[in-house]
A = this chain, B = another copy of it.
Amino acid sequence: MKELVRELGDVVSTDAAVLEEHSRDTSRAEPGGLPAAVVRVHSATEVQTVLRWATTHRVPVSVRGAGTGVSGGALAYPGGLVVSLAAMNQVLEIDAPNRIAEVDPGIIVDQLDQAAAAHELMYAPDPVSYQTATIGGTVDTNAGGLRCLAHGVTRDVIAGLEVVLADGRLIRTGSRTRKNSTGYDLTGLFIGSEGTLGVVTRVIARLKPRPVGEAVTFSAQFPTMAAAGAAVATIMASATTPEMLELMDRNSIDIVQRHFPSAVAAEGEALLVGQTIGTDAQQQAEAVVSACRDAGALLAEAGGGEELLDTRRMVNPALNAAGLALSCDVAVPPSRLAEMFERIDDISVQTGYPVNTCAHAGDGNMHPSVLAANDSAEEVAAAEHVLTLITEAALDMGGVISGEHRIGSLKTGMLAQQFDPDTLDLQHQLKGFFDPVGILSPGRAI
Residues of A within 8 A of B (CB): 95-100, 141-142, 144, 148, 153, 155-156, 165, 169-173, 175-189, 191-193, 197, 209, 212, 233, 236-239, 329, 331-335, 360, 362-365, 398-407, 415, 418-420, 422-424, 426-427, 429-430, 433, 445-446
Contacts and interface: CB of A to CB of B under 8 A. Distances in A.
Given A99-B237, A175-B400, A209-B239, 16 more contacts: A95-B333, A97-B334, A98-B236, A98-B335, A169-B422, A169-B426, A172-B419, A177-B332, A177-B333, A180-B403, A182-B402, A185-B189, A185-B192, A188-B188, A189-B189, A430-B433
A189 B188 contact: yes
A393 to B, nearest CB: 14
Nearest to A120: B239
A178 B407 contact: no
A181 B193 CA distance: 9
Contacts of A333: 95, 97-98, 100, 176-178
Given A171-B422, A363-B178, A184 B430 contact: yes
10 contacts: A95-B335, A96-B237, A97-B233, A97-B237, A98-B237, A98-B333, A148-B179, A177-B364, A179-B365, A185-B189
Contacts of A185: 142, 155, 185, 188-189, 191-193
Given A97-B237, A398-B176, A405 B181 contact: yes
A171 B400 CA distance: 16
Contacts of A433: 429-430, 433
Given A96-B237, A177-B364, A365-B179, A423 B184 contact: no
Contacts of A399: 175, 177
Contacts of A169: 422, 426
Given A189-B189, A209-B239, A331-B178, A183 B427 contact: yes
